[in-house]
Amino acid sequence: MPVDNQIYDRLAADWWSADSSFYLLRSLLNPARFPYLRRTMTETLAISSNGAHVLDVGCGGGLLAEEFAKLGCRVTGVDPSEPSLRTAAEHARSSGLSIDYVPGSGEHLPFENEAFDVVYCCDVLEHVDDLQKTIGEIARVIKPGGGFMFDTINRTLRSKLVMIKLFQEWKPTALMEPSAHDWNMFIRPDELIQHLNAAGLKPGPIVGVAPKAPPPKVVWLLRQRKRGAMNFEQLGAAIGMHESSDKSVLYMGYAVKQPVP
């Protein structure tokens, strides 16, 4: 089933609701990926978070943008879903955070060349219409020596089982919209590395993201959520994602924009 990116308009008010599957990005993924992203920026890339100009490509409701703003970064979020941007802006204001939200797509970023110290793109690359163009646009707006950080979904039989069958199609466990993902749009690490190199971005090591809970318990937890025994905040905490050597479903990494000689 093709990806339906219009769900982000229809469900834009639900980004911060613990009863929405969107909340899994905060309760399930952020505890694993944000420490990695923060460490990569401040230690690996040696870019201070204090005042760094950071771009969130595909920011949605601002779940990651607010984490970077709390670090002291100057955060700009871009997304094609204007209803989601309104939700993000309202939540940032209510949280006392200053974040600039701008409509736009990954294929056509509305920014000048070399405008950002760091660009990150999480839960997005598997949704874009043109991956090569999106990576090229990201590279264009990064300052020489700056970094690109990402996470995405691998295209494997295991990711098809987990992300499509368990999360979208099987009624006893499904918790996402049936058209949230298309397995054919998932990206193998070697494919992404080719795009990064072609755009002048030098890739670093790639790491996996995997649940701490064993597979049978994950299935049991999904069924508990389906029965209404827990909300998505509780589900995310119970599954417990972490950095892992297992890249078969989710993986994350970074690349550095090479300075012009």
What pLDDT is recorded for position 261?
65
Read off the tokens for 230: 């827990």
What pLDDT is recorded for position 256?
98
What pLDDT is recorded for position 187?
98
Please write the tens of the pLDDT for every residue from 105-124: 999 999 999 999 999 999 99
Please write the tens of the pLDDT for every residue from 35-86: 999 999 999 999 999 999 999 999 999 999 999 999 999 999 999 999 999 9
What pLDDT is recorded for position 3?
72
* Residues 6 or more apart in contact with residue 13 via CB below 8 angstroms: 83, 87
Please report, for the chain, the start and end positions of each structural domain, with discontinuous segments joined by +: 7-154+181-209+243-257
Please write the tens of the pLDDT for every residue from 123-159: 999 999 999 999 999 999 999 999 999 999 999 999 9
CB of 110 closer than 8 Å to CB of 80 = no
Cα–Cα distance for residue pair 232/17, rounded to 1 Å: 9
Name the band, by pLDDT with cuts 50, 70 and 90, for residue 4. Answer: confident
What pLDDT is recorded for position 5?
79
Cα–Cα distance for residue pair 143/127, rounded to 1 Å: 25
Looking at the structure, give the CATH architecture of the domain made up of residues 7-154+181-209+243-257: 3-Layer(aba) Sandwich (3.40)
* Angle at 61 (CA atoms; ends 59, 130), nearest 5 degrees: 35
Mean pLDDT of 28-39: 96
CB of 2 closer than 8 Å to CB of 212 = no
